[in-house]
Amino acid sequence: MNWEVVIGLEIHAQLSTQSKLFSGAARSFGAEPNTNTTLVDLGMPGALPVFNKEALRMAVMFGHAVNAEIGMTSVFARKNYFYPDLPKGYQTSQMDHPIVGKGHLDITLEDGTVKRVGITRAHLEEDAGKSLHEDFHGMTGIDLNRSSTPLLEIVSEPDMRSAKEAVAYVKMIHSIITYLGISDGNMAEGNMRCDINISLRPKGQTEYGTRTEIKNVNSFRFIERAIYTEIERQADILEDGGKIVQETRLYDPDKDETRSMRSKEDANDYRYFPCPDLLPIELTQEYVDQIASNLPELPTQKAERFMSEYKLSEYDAGVLSASRAMADYFEEVAKVAGNAKLAANWVMGELSKYLNTEGKDITESPVSATALGELLVRIEDNTINGKTAKSVFQAMWEGEGSADQIIDAKGLKQVTDTGAIESMIQGVLDANPDQVEQFRASDEDKQKKMIGFFMGQVMKASQGKANPGVVTPILNKLLKG
Amino acid sequence: MIDQSIASLAKKLRDKEISSVELTQDYLARIKQYDGQLNSYITITEEIALAQAEAADKQLAQGAASPLTGLPIAHKDLFCTDGILTTCASKMLHNFVPPYESTVTGRMLASGTVTLGKTNMDEFAMGSSNEKSYYGAVKNPWNLDKVPGGSSGGSAAAVAAGLCVAATGTDTGGSIRQPASFCGITGLKPTYGRVSRFGMIAYASSLDQAGPMARSAEDCAHILQSIAGFDANDSTSAEVDTEDYTANLDAPLTGLTIGLPKEYFGDGLNNDVASAIQEAVKEFEKLGATVKDISLPNLNLSIPSYYVIAPSEASSNLSRFDGVRYGYRCEEPKDLMDMYKRSRGEAFGKEVQKRIMVGTYALSEGYYDAYYLKAQRIRRLIKEDFVKAFEEVDVIMGPVAPTTAFGIGAKTDDPIAMYLEDIYTLSVNLAGIPAMSVPAGFADGMPVGLQIMGNYFSEAKLLNVAHKFQQATDWHTKNPSLVEGA
């Protein structure tokens, strides 16, 4: 059977506020257990939540970025369930009246087509603490540092039809929240987590199949693999005439499999009701508009500007605007180098190659954008050629200094003196009489192929320092005799 | 000494007729003498009280005293007090010592009061008789076979018996007014949001409100002055300026319009209680007020509405008592579920368990609309009834409770009869308006309380109305024979 996969995603993004959603404790990662806590985060009797307005502003920014309706009145609700790291016995979240309503965003697929994905809603909620099972001799330790840190839960429509689309969507959300500066989006630290709802249906069928939910997947790669694995599992069951059980599953990256966590029958009745400790949030149009007018440039807008301002291709503009850090880096290189196309080629080529090899993020590059720009200036002004530039870049990467320092120290300055180059070429021709004779006997097509050989020999003789722009006409002239 | 008002005690302290330490020692001695019979205190903080009294005496000597400096008072045992056991009268919190101070007790401390101890109450403030305490029932000082009312029964009994100058209470469905009525003292439930709930262990967050319980309206005014006002730690506290609550106590009542809702004088109201209330209303007419018959048609709906909303919120508020971080944890739990079930099963009393179950049921999927949402709609109707009434009248009067204090054990097997005790008080909490209980006579030897209800944030007016009544009558000055001769 030909199956169509239907995917919807719930993304939890931790907002990068100074303090927590309902308490004044610092929002931080990696502190000693239970040190970043207040009475509120500990669920002390009599403690009351006080809402952090910074989180509100960030949620409204996100709403604008995905073209969503903003909830002018939004209400916090309690989601009741017992868990040891949930200190109050309920999570303060939003149910009937979320801060962000229906919206949408566009994702660009690998073949260049653009697809619109619906956003159902996004709401504010507090995170729980963490249960620690090691080192407690059969007991469980509770760390409430994360308790009450602010999350924005972003719920998509079931609009995605492949793992690739799902990943493109998650990347776009990641890109938007980091562009907005409302989340670090650091998936390894768990401040962006993803629940994947997934079902299969025969191609052409309109109603959805029974779905499963894969909880808490925390990397782009795992999202893709979890989806492939789950598609395969569901397809096997359906093709054997079986039925999918609606349930929550966990993805195990080590075994590359999903396994059942709890079925719908075991699911909690969360008994949502409006939180009586918090008043409804009432927004004014002025507040909402003011946030809209101060929104930073978003990935799609940036890509469009790169195309018009720097004459980049759609593909290059897309790659370079994928993350705010990448875009900022590129723009700085282009500004210093004065040649955007050259900057684009280097950022996407040599720099990315080095970053990938060492598994580094662009923010961790040992070569700053300004330093790379200065290197490209030396290509532009013919001090060095492209090939030499690559070796200079390698030295810069290894911390040997700036482009100019390395060019000077290694004596890599191009030779552009025509007399010196002419005698160097003559030397090459004298050393290769057979090839010269063969060249002169060939037709024009053959000659074009052979010129590369002489060029190589000249560059070798000059230790790469001869300016190819100067060499070519002289070489042509001398070869033709 | 127990007949003295806050104002006169404050004067004696300032005039050095008595020191705060002496006054505190007197009250501690009285507690030792009488509280064995009454059981109004859960914790007596003798050392802390004497240390605070010494500090107060220093302040008095420096002339930097507030009207409350050096006065021995008591707090209901659901206000978190830093370093002092706070039990909510529950086995669940039998060992809970808060690491912080509630706003109410903190403001009282800042006013220089001396804390004698923490008073008994119905467990987690759930009850109308103070029989539902892990620490045992409280007795009514007027008749030890009768209940003091609840849930602030310990505070009411302690004030009535002269075991403190005044006390704090909380009122979710009548828990200040009904025990004040049963014990013959004056109690004020302020407007919802007037007093911060921070540090007050929650029963039903949208209804809970702290207030003073004292020997007169004037004393209540002094306490309210200390505890009222916006608190950034409580998002539901009101950003409405406080007034000078003692400034207009003596303002004349000429031109005051009193509304008498016919629903407060119907079936179920004890005849002797009814006559006492009618006599009190005549007293107000003598003081220049006019009386108008009004209707609050949805009064009967307040009981079902309250007994859905309050347990619903309670079922969630009490989820934090899970044996994980503080309070009671069962012995040798097998696993997590066993720990939850036995810790909560062993440490919550039956009434608390019942309300948690009712609330859990009402919020469940499939029942939420029929119970919780419907109850909220009724709540709006009740509120509208009051809003409409206050367009015509300045205050509304009626009884606090249908009867005087009933016998201990008389209603424990009949929860419906117990819930009906709250018929005249619940709607005030559902609407969020302020109301008082003021001593207005006796029926069969037990005190009767007159309820005075006011518009939002009209505490100053209510205190003025109550004070003028107390200037004209002496019901609030009567003392139970148990403590007479003190």
pLDDT of residue B484: 61
CATH number, domain at A474?
1.10.10.410
**Whole-number Å distance between alpha carbons of B60 and B65:** 5
d(CA A471, CA A75): 73
- Confidence band, pLDDT 50/70/90 cuts, at residue B486: very low
CB contact under 8 A, B320 and A269: no
pLDDT of residue A108: 85
Taking the C-alpha atoms of residue B155 and residue B163, their distance in angstroms, rounded to an integer, is 9
Contact B365 A271 (CB under 8 A): yes
pLDDT confidence of A316, banded at 50, 70, 90?
very high
* Residue where one domain finishes, among candidates A289, A312, A345: A289
| CA dihedral of residues A254, A256, A257, A262 (deg, nearest 10) | 50
pLDDT at B280 over 90: yes
- Using a pLDDT cut of 70, give the percent of chain B over it: 99
**What are the two backbone dihedrals, phi and then psi, of residue A275, each rounded to the nearest 5 degrees?**
-70, 115
Mean pLDDT score of chain A: 92
Give the pLDDT score at A436.
87
Q: Per-residue pLDDT for A427 more than 90?
A: no
Residue with the two structure tokens 């952090």 = A52
d(Cα A150, Cα A21) in Å, to the nearest integer? 5
- Residue whose C-alpha is closest to residue A244's, from A212, A280, A220: A212
Contact call for A46 and B200, based on CB within 8 A: yes
Residues A304, A276 share a domain: no
Asked if A327 and A453 sit in the same domain, the reply is: no
Q: How far is B29 from B19, CA to CA, in rounded Å?
A: 15
Say whether pLDDT at A458 is over 90.
no
* pLDDT range class, residue A353, cuts 50, 70, 90: very high
Assess whether pLDDT exceeds 90 at residue A263: no
Q: Are residues A262 and A344 in the same domain?
A: no
Q: In B98-196, where does DSSP find H-type helix? A: 103-110, 153-160, 177-183
Q: What is the pLDDT of residue A229?
A: 95
State mean pLDDT over A224-234. 96
Both A428 and A393 in a single domain?
no
Q: What is the pLDDT of residue A428?
A: 87
Measured between beta carbons, which residues in chain B are less than 8 angstroms from residue A273? 312-313, 316, 363, 368, 372
**CA B281 from centre of chain:** 24
The pLDDT confidence band at residue A240, using thresholds 50, 70 and 90, is very high
Same domain, A328 and A227: no
**What is the average pLDDT across A196-204?**
96
List, for residues B53-107, the tens digit of each pLDDT value.
999 999 999 988 899 999 999 999 999 999 999 999 999 999 999 999 999 999 9
pLDDT over 60 (residue B485): no
- pLDDT above 70 coverage of chain A, percent: 99
A150 lies in which domain range?
A: 3-289
Select from B322, B340, B368 the residue whose CB has the most chain A CBs within 10 Å, as the one to mutate to test that interface.
B322
- Mutation to test the A interface, candidates B325, B334, B367, B380, most A Cβ within 10 Å: B325
Residue A336: which residues within 8 A CB-CB, separation 6 or more? Answer: A369, A370, A372, A373, A374, A376, A377
| pLDDT the model gives residue B303 | 95
Domain identity same for A138 and A197: yes
**Residue B330 backbone zone (phi > 0: left; psi -120 to 50: alpha; other: beta):** beta
Tell me which H or E stretch contains A470. Answer: helix A468-480
Which of residues 194 through 253 in chain B touch A, CB cutoff 8 A?
Answer: 197-202, 204-206, 232-236
Most confidently modeled of A108-122, B409-423, B445-459? B445-459
What are the φ and ψ backbone dihedral angles of B84, each rounded to 5 degrees?
Answer: -120, 130
Q: Which of B434, B68, B3 is nearest to B215 (CA)?
A: B3
Instruction: Report the number of distinct structural domains present in chain A.
Output: 3
Q: Across residues B184-212, what is the average pLDDT?
A: 98
Catalytic residues of B: 76, 151, 175
pLDDT for position A265: 67
Together in a domain, A258 and A397 = no
What is the C-alpha to C-alpha distance for residues A249 and A162, in angstroms, rounded to an integer? 19
Stretch B459-469: mean pLDDT: 98
Q: Both A75 and A111 in a single domain?
A: yes
Instruction: Point out the domain boundary residue: A289, A312, A335.
Output: A289
Question: Does A271 contact B313 at a Cβ distance shorter than 8 Å?
Answer: no
Which residues does chain A have within 8 Å of residue B235's beta carbon, measured at their own beta carbons?
48-51, 277-279
Residues A265, A310, single domain; the answer is no
Among A256, A233, A251, A228, residue whose Cα is nearest residue A243: A233
3-state class (DSSP) for residue A165: helix
- Separation between Cα atoms, residue A305 and residue B214, nearest integer Å: 72
| Helix (H) or strand (E) run with residue B311 in it | helix B302-317
Contact B324 A84 (CB under 8 A): yes
Nearest to B437 by CA among B257, B178, B222, B192: B178
User: Which of A409, A434, A463 is where one domain is finished?
Assistant: A409
pLDDT for the residue B300: 92
User: pLDDT tens across A75-103, in order?
Assistant: 999 999 999 999 999 999 999 999 999 99
Report the alpha-carbon distance of residue B300 to residue B417 in Å, rounded: 14
Q: Which has more pLDDT, B476 or A300?
A: B476
Contacts A–B by Cβ distance under 8 A: 100
Distance from CA of B103 to the nearest CA of A (A): 10
Torsion of CA A259, A150, B321, A79, to 10 degrees: -60
Higher per-residue confidence, A139 vs B169: B169
Q: Both A19 and A106 in a single domain?
A: yes
| Whether the predicted pLDDT of B255 surpasses 90 | yes
Q: Is there a single domain that holds both residue A13 and residue A139?
A: yes
Residue A227 has pLDDT above 50, yes or no: yes
| Same domain, residue pair A105 and A237 | yes
Residues of A in contact with B363 (CB under 8 A): 80, 271-273
Is it the case that residue B41 has pLDDT exceeding 90? yes
**Mutate: best of B123, B324, B329, B357, partner A, most A CBs <10 A:** B324
Distance from CA of B425 to the nearest CA of A (A): 21
Closest-CA distance, A315 to chain B, in angstroms, reads 50
C-beta separation of A159 from A172 below 8 A: no
Q: Could you tell me how far CA B182 lies from the centroid of its own chain?
A: 12
- Among A1-5, A475-479, B90-94, B323-327, the range scoring the smallest mean pLDDT is A475-479
**What's phi and psi for A409, nearest 5 deg?**
-60, -35
Predicted pLDDT at B337: 95
Q: What is the pLDDT of residue A474?
A: 87
Instruction: Scan for tokens 């079936």, then name that residue.
Output: B267
For residue B239, what are its two tokens?
A: 């950003």
ipTM: 0.95
Is the link from the previous residue into B151 a cis peptide, with omega within 30 of 0?
Answer: yes
